[in-house]
Amino acid sequence: MRARRAAGVFLILLALCAAPLWAQAPAANGAQDAARIAAKLSQLEQQAADAHSAGDNAWMLVSAALVLMMTGPGLALFYGGLVRKKNVLATMMQSFALMAVVTVVWAVIGYSLCFHAGNPFIGGTGFSFLRGVGPAPNPDYAPTIPQQTFMVYQLMFAIITPGLITGSIAERARFSALMLFMVLWSLVVYSPMAHMVWGAGGLLNSSGGRFPTLDFAGGTVVHITSGVSALVAALYFGKRVGYPKQPMPPHSVVLSFIGASLLWVGWFGFNAGSALAANGLATSAFVATHFAAASATIGWAGAEWIRNGKPSVLGAISGAVAGLVAITPASGFVGPMSALLIGLIAGVGCYLMVATVKARFGYDDSLDAFGVHGAGGTIGAILTGVFATSKVNPVFANGAPVGWMDGNAGQIVNQLVGVAIAWVLAIVGSLVILKIADLVIGVRVTQDEEVEGLDVSQHGEEGYNLEAQ
Amino acid sequence: MTKIEAIIQTSRFESVKDALKEAGIEGMTVSEVRGHGRQKGHTEVYRGREYSMDLLPRTKVELVVADRLVETVVEAILKSARTGKIGDGKIFLSKIDEAIRIRNEERGENAL
């Protein structure tokens, strides 16, 4: 009896302990709940922003890798196949060495001169040694990715641009002098041009510059500067021994084919990555890039077919490259149909430059760096002013008309200003640097070295030892 | 002993090799060469520049045989290498002073 009563009391006490649980009503703590919901929303917003950033950053890192691939092995193979067998390694080494040398220059001062605020012509030294360039985004350029990503992406552009110049002076450049030339060129020609077009406060910057030049991925900054510098260099160096009488056909169109294919694929990083985000504009630039390459291939190969009776593989791949060059400044501003047209014009135009104009003037632009990049870049930059439209990219404030297609014919004038500045900077800059490099080291190899071949004379190697066991 | 040097169309090489085997020949040296006789070359075009390729790819077959076998071998080559068109090639015969087998220093016809 006593045990049953004790159990009963125990149960009642237990029930009383549980009472507070039943007493809790939902409406009683409204203020605490609102704060909890606000905190949760804030957390979700941060996660959404992080996911957005993660998508952008992933795309940009891939793009950076694609652009580096364009230099090594894309350009190395493309140019390597076009030279004679005895110069294949030297030609590839020129591209590869830039991957190393330009990186160091970029880290020390190059990035800062391009992208730190300074004056309208050149950046300041605030980012030298990459101080302050870390995981935090730089809202001047790309608000959703780490500035370090932006920096390394732009580095890949700085690497490939001087590499293009090596095409015009192939088979006769002294390696040491070329390295000196490239370091100086990055500082004196590339950095100012990149700053003017893309840098905060740049003279030609499409947002806020005095002469807003539309250059989405580098028609002026990359192709015109390098292409025109290439022409200057070709004229300064003079013709190769035996040119033009001695036949110097490409030793391996196979290598060039592989290189050109890598360039086409890599260019998606070059152009679509210039959207600096994984968004609709990147897609639009991707599509425009591909379409221009396609129509330019048809343009060059078609023109050749008509003129020579056969379409050559070298012509087809050269056409693709010409189209890719021309669409570079336009890629984020024009629609797909305009891209097809731009490609076609560039394909035919660059073919004529290479097949007729070069022969008429008689200069030895060995691998047509000027014919494809200088001419293609100029064509593309001007056509950007024609075909740019706010429907694709409302780059000017308040949906203002962008290119001639929108009714703003004046943009073509701005494009011409950008083109002219690129030409002048390239010509003057290159001449000065060539003279310096020539005085300090001597830019051209001796005639004996040239005839022996650069692989042996500059690097002590042979590209192919196929007879060896 | 006679050296037989035959410069033939590369596309005929397999038949020539079979014919020589049937004729009982046990050794030959084959090399890829470039050259031309009266046949014209062709033109190749790279980036708008024309290059005339007068040296055409050919195959050279070299054999050293005992004098009594020369006519059989020459017949075999002629039959298998001929297409009837210009560019079929040529056969040259020359006298060999001596032949030595490296492995055991055998000399003369025994070395062939």
Q: Which secondary-structure segment (H or E) carries A150?
A: helix A147-165
CATH of the domain at A284: 1.10.3430.10
Interchain CB distance below 8 Å, B51 and A249: yes
> Do residue A310 and residue B45 have CB atoms under 8 angstroms apart?
yes
Residue B59 belongs to domain with CATH number: 3.30.70.120
pTM score of the predicted model: 0.89
Q: Do B47 and A315 touch (CB under 8 A)?
A: yes
Q: How many domains does chain A have?
A: 1
Q: What's the complex ipTM?
A: 0.80
**Is the residue at A232 inside a domain?**
yes
User: In this predicted structure, what is the pLDDT of residue A212?
Assistant: 96
* Domain enclosing residue B96, as ranges: 2-111
Q: Is residue A219 part of a domain?
A: yes
| Count of the separate structural domains present in chain B | 1
pLDDT at B67: 95
- Detail the DSSP E strand segments found in A103-189: none
Q: Which residues of A touch B (CB under 8 A)?
A: 244, 247, 249-250, 253, 304, 308, 310, 312, 314-315, 318, 351, 354-356, 358-359, 368
Q: Is B32 on the interface with A (CB under 8 A)?
A: no
Q: Which helix (H) or strand (E) holds B34?
A: strand B29-35
Q: Is residue A118 part of a domain?
A: yes
The tens-digit pLDDT sequence of chain A (469 residues) is 677 777 777 777 776 766 555 555 555 578 889 999 999 999 999 999 888 899 999 999 999 999 999 999 999 999 999 999 999 999 999 999 999 999 999 999 999 999 999 999 999 999 999 999 999 999 999 999 999 999 999 999 999 999 999 999 999 999 999 999 999 999 999 999 999 999 999 999 999 899 999 999 999 999 999 999 999 999 999 999 999 888 899 999 999 999 999 999 999 999 999 999 999 999 999 999 999 999 999 999 999 999 999 999 999 999 999 999 999 999 999 999 999 999 999 999 999 999 999 989 989 999 999 999 999 999 999 999 999 999 999 999 888 999 999 999 999 999 999 999 999 999 999 999 999 999 999 999 999 999 999 999 999 999 999 887 7
Cβ neighbours around A55 below 10 Å, total: 15
Structural domain contains residue A399: yes
- Tell me which of A308, A361, A372 to substitute to probe the interface with B (most B C-beta atoms closer than 10 Å): A308
First-residue to last-residue Cα distance in chain A:
106
On whether the CB atoms of residues A354 and A296 are closer than 8 A, the answer is: no
Give the torsion through C-alpha atoms of B30, B35, B37, B39, to 10 deg: 110
DSSP state of A24: -
Which residue of A247, A310, A354 is in closest CB contact with B47?
A354
* Chain A, nearest residue to B48 by Cα: A355
Residue (of A130, A124, A126, A123) closest to A108 by Cα position: A130
pLDDT score recorded for residue A350: 97
Distance of residue B36 Cα from the nearest chain A Cα, in angstroms: 18
pLDDT tens per residue across span B21-47: 999 998 999 999 999 888 777 888 888
Please report the pLDDT score of residue A1 as a whole number.
62
pLDDT of A218 reads: 96
Task: Answer yes or no: is A392 within a domain.
Answer: yes
Task: Note whether residue A44 is domain-resident.
Answer: no
Judge: B48–A314 Cβ closer than 8 Å, yes or no.
no
Range of the domain at A138: 73-454
Q: What is the pLDDT of residue A310?
A: 93
- Among the partner-chain residues B44, B47, B51, the one whose CB lies closest to the CB of A355 is B47
- Using DSSP's 3-state secondary structure scheme, residue A210 falls into coil
Inform me whether the pLDDT recorded for B58 exceeds 70.
Answer: yes
